[in-house]
Amino acid sequence: MAATVDGLLQQLPTHMPSTAAQSPIDEKEEEEEAAAQDSTGAESLLATLPAQLLDAEDAFRATLGAMAAVQASRGLKRVLQMLVGMGVGGDLLDAMRCRDSRNSECPDMMQYLHAILKTKLPRLVGFHEELSALQTTRPIGPIRQHAVAWRQQLQGSNGVQPETNGCSEFATLMQQVEELLTRFANEETNFSDFSAHWGLNKGECNNVDEIITVVKSFVADYEAVYRNIQL
């Protein structure tokens, strides 16, 4: 019996013909499932994007305010000029980066800076108070990247309307995303001017983010020393 089974097995073709041909019913089920997934994705977009857009607007507005405050701060400008004149760093950004007390070239940098200001330039001791706008800033480069992705998602979801929502909601969100991207485009000149002032040539958001981060950290470190000494 075993030999007979082996013989039958050897007679089987090497490649069996596929019996998994898709029926019209299977194709319809797949189309319905894909449509349901698209609808779910569209519903998720409508549910989450409005809050994300509000958050992005807040972050963008905060960074523009911080840029203006930094540019307008005569106290910060005078302090950095003094540091560069003392040989602390090769330029303004280097002067702000060179603040770590663990750095042998800048021992107790902030304590020293506070002592110099208190002795020589007492009117600048509280220069950090001009820069409170820095406290609420967040990087804006990722916001623009998110806005581009949101536009692509909305364009892909347009026409896949959940039954409970109409085209108007997609149109409104698309308009808000486009307005946010337009604001970025309109600020490119300011980004360029701001970056150039600090020795960076490109007016991109990542340069603005880099500058704001350095200034924010410098001011926060000085303020911590200032408050500690006042106690």
Q: What is the tens place of the pLDDT at every residue in 118-161?
A: 999 999 999 999 999 999 899 999 999 999 999 988 887 655 54
Quick one: pLDDT at residue 63? 93
Quick one: pLDDT at residue 27? 60
Of 87 and 215, the structure prediction assigns the larger pLDDT to: 215
In this prediction, residue 183 has a pLDDT band, given cuts at 50, 70 and 90, of very high
Cα-based distances in Å from 164 to 25, 33, 43, 50, 168: 27, 18, 9, 17, 12
CB neighbours (10 Å) of residue 94? 15
pLDDT, the chain, mean: 80
DSSP codes of every residue in 160-181:
---TTS-HHHHHHHHHHHHHHH
Quick one: pLDDT at residue 29? 57
* Whether the predicted pLDDT of 176 surpasses 50: yes
pTM across the whole model: 0.73
Domains by residue range for the chain, with CATH: 39-230 (1.20.58.2220)
